[in-house]
Structures are given as C-alpha cells and as structure tokens.
Amino acid sequence: METGNSAINTDKDSNEFQRIDSSFDADLSYRYLLGLIISNEALKAIVYDPENSSFLATLHAKFDPEKETSIELEKCLNSIPWLKQSYKDVKVGIANDYATLIPESVYNSEILEEVFQLNFGKPENWEVTSDKLLNAEARQIFGFPNWIRNTLEKQFETVSIYHCSSPVFEFLLGRQQGNPDTNVHLDLNLPYLSICVIKDGKIQLANTLKFTTLSELVYQVLYAFKKLALNPEETMLCLSGDVRHADAAFNELYRFVRHVEFIQDENESQWAESLRSLDKHNVFNLTRLLRCEL
C-alpha cells in the first residue's frame, strides 16, 4: 500500500467557520441547549432550540498551536458572545485517544481507574470517568485533564462531559438494530479518528486513535477491513466530521475503499435558514452529542 505522507491539513478558510442565525435570541438562551467538542486543536460548538426544534448556531475554531490549549479554550469562551450566554444544558464531548470500551457485564466503579491505567498509564491531574452505552451493553472508559472541567464550570452552571465518540457509537448501534448488513463508520475530529464497525446490530470493532498523516489514516481503516475480513470493493465506508468531498483524505480513502459516502442524519427543517447550506455530516458528532441519552 502506498499513500501520501502529507499531514492532514485542509485550507484554513474551509476548516474554520462560525454561523449564527438571526433567530438566535440571547434573552432566550436559558431555554437553548449548547454542545461543545474540545480537542487539543480546536473547539466546536452548536446551539439547539428544543422549543422550535431548530439548530441556531455553530462554530469550528482552531487553536493556535503555539499556545496552551487551556489558554486558547478560555479565549474562545470569553471572546465569542453567544458562548458567554447562560444555557439550559451544556453537553461536552472530549476528543482524544484516551478511551477504551469494556463490556458492561464486567464494569464496576472500583475498576475504573485500574482499567484506565492499564491502557494509558496515570497522567497527573486528570479526571477518569465512563459513558454507559446502552445499545452496546458496554462502558467507554476515558480521561481528560482536570482543567477542562474547571474552565467549563467557571463559564456554565450545568456541564455534562462525555467522550465525543460515545454518542456516535450509540446512535449507529441504534440505527443498525435488526439490520444484518455490515456498517463501517469513520468519524474525524482532527487529529483523531473514531472508527466503528457494526454487524448484525453488534459492535465488532470500535476505537479512537490519533493520526498525523494520510498514510496513518488509510492504514487504520484498511487494518479494520482486514481484521474483520471485509471486502473494500464491496463494503460501504460512511464518513462524518472533519472531511469534505474535495479533501485529500476523502480522495485517498476512495482509492482503497470503493464505496464511500457521507452520513445523512438531520433533516433540513431542523436547521435555521442561514445554516441550511452547511454540510451536515461535518457537524454530525455535535448533533449526536446534543441528542445523546448516555
């Protein structure tokens, strides 16, 4: 297998955006829901008005790589007016590769720290927690630096923190119940990929990994195909997150997997007028985060 070794970087203008619809009313933010995804490279955000069943605002802001992530996050939260509002509920997805799935049947809170340390060591000043995936009958054990919760709780009254892949995995499993087909889904939160393979309504493989080059991205996808004896000429690969049709990542994946498409999720009526032109697969992980019941 030969693939390019270029880093996964796309044009800055196409990879960063902020849109807020004129129907967003700061005086009514107490009834809105806010979703955030935080990685060491970017902050993503989305606002949903449940009373009108409408997404009102969304954001993808990249951090300055020369500065501390904590400083960049605080700057975003304090400089973007609609992120400074009070919200009914705030759900946060952590994008990192410090996450592992274990069966619910073997989980109890006493082994939480032990399982995390066996997989990732013991980072200082980190919180270790878990998401319960009902459809998967599994727990996603994950960790993140304490400063993330501290920063968010200074800004918002109520904060729930999940691993960003958990709502995606849970949604995909729910959608595949009763479907014997094999589903391969790749969600990108640069510089992380979350890959999930479902067959007969059960997870065959689910993992979140860091990558820096196209070669690493393609390798991880083809490794999943090979491990589960899937034919890349026949099996569909579904994409969401930080990837567009014109991106090198899409074209490189299509060289090796012949059926590649973007996930279709939300219907147009759920988006405020000025947001309807967005590629909805780019914010799929955000919309699933807001709707998760983990």
Mean pLDDT (whole number) for 22-45: 97
- Could you tell me the pTM of the whole model? 0.92
State the pLDDT at residue 266.
63
Query: Residue range 4-13: average pLDDT?
Result: 35
Which of 9-18, 101-110, 186-195, 206-215 has the lowest average pLDDT? 9-18
What is the mean predicted confidence (pLDDT) over 237-244?
Answer: 95
- Predicted pLDDT at 287: 95
> Helix-strand-coil percent breakdown of the chain, rounded to 5?
35, 35, 30
Average pLDDT over residues 174-201: 92
Q: Are 151 and 283 contacting, i.e. CB atoms less than 8 angstroms apart?
A: no
| Lowest-confidence segment of 130-134, 185-189, 197-201, 237-241 by average pLDDT | 197-201
The predicted structure's pLDDT at residue 12: 38
Q: Is the dihedral of CA 72, 74, 75, 81 positive or negative?
A: positive
**84-108 mean pLDDT:** 97
> Is the pLDDT reported for residue 9 higher than 90?
no
Show the domains of the chain with their CATH numbers. Answer: 12-99+125-169+265-291 (3.30.420.250), 178-262 (3.30.420.260)
pLDDT category, 180, cuts 50, 70, 90?
confident
Distances (CA, A) of 105 to 138, 139, 197: 8, 9, 21
